[in-house]
Chains A and B, each alone.
Chain A
């Protein structure tokens, strides 16, 4: 099992450009999450999907959209990137939602110039 995979590993964007971060899990988990990690801020939830076909906003959803394409895949889209979105983005999945282990991907480092 690969666990949780994310692509790309690194990305540099110019302000205003768009991009999609991809995430896939092979553990048959219902719940999937997108977090951003900034220095001194810990992990902040952007969006989550409790099950296939549902998505909900987290703590910091502004400037992002998500798609739960199927049970395996959960993508995060930046429509018009801003320097404030420079961060490390982590995808995670869980079998028991917020009351069970979250399995994290390796992260995507995004720099917006």
Chain B
């Protein structure tokens, strides 16, 4: 069945360095790729998304890239700060119009 795989499951980076989280999807009909951030004790919140008609989108320190041929999309966070510590989820819709989430990446920003 349709699947979204996310790597790594845990990532630790020094404050100020960059972090990259990668996802692959299986349903070629997927055309919308959001990224959510979940802070401790809260619900996930959208931080950036990309649609299949573009290859890259940037919002300040956050960027998302999409390779539709390879069915890959990635989240890039530059100049990481302590408040970036959280769990991040990628997602993609399948042809049945159900959204499938990756299993999440726990990002630790080290002082």
A residues touching B (Cβ–Cβ < 8 Å)? 4, 33, 35, 40-45, 48, 50, 58-59, 90, 92, 97-107
B83 within 8 A of A: no
Cα-based distance from A103 to B44 in the complex (angstroms): 8
Beta-carbon contact of B93 and A43 below 8 Å: no
Given contacts A43-B101, A102-B44, A107-B43, 19 further A-B contacts (CB under 8 A): A33-B99, A35-B101, A41-B103, A42-B101, A42-B104, A43-B89, A44-B101, A45-B100, A58-B98, A98-B97, A98-B99, A99-B31, A101-B34, A102-B34, A102-B99, A103-B46, A104-B43, A106-B43, A107-B41
Give chain A residues whose Cβ lies under 8 Å from the Cβ of B43. 4, 90, 92, 104-107
Interface of B toward A, CB cutoff 8 Å: 6, 9, 31-32, 34, 36, 41-46, 49, 89, 93-94, 97-104
A82 to nearest B CB, angstroms?
Answer: 23
> In the complex, what's the smallest C-beta–C-beta distance from B103 to chain A, in angstroms?
4
Task: Report which of B6, B9, B98 forms a contact with A45, defined as CB distance below 8 A.
Answer: B98
Residue from the list B44, B93, B94, B100 in contact with A90, Cβ < 8 A: B44
**Is B46's CB under 8 angstroms from A98's CB?**
no
12 contacts between A and B (CB under 8 A): A41-B103, A42-B101, A42-B102, A43-B44, A45-B100, A59-B98, A90-B44, A99-B31, A101-B49, A104-B45, A105-B43, A107-B41
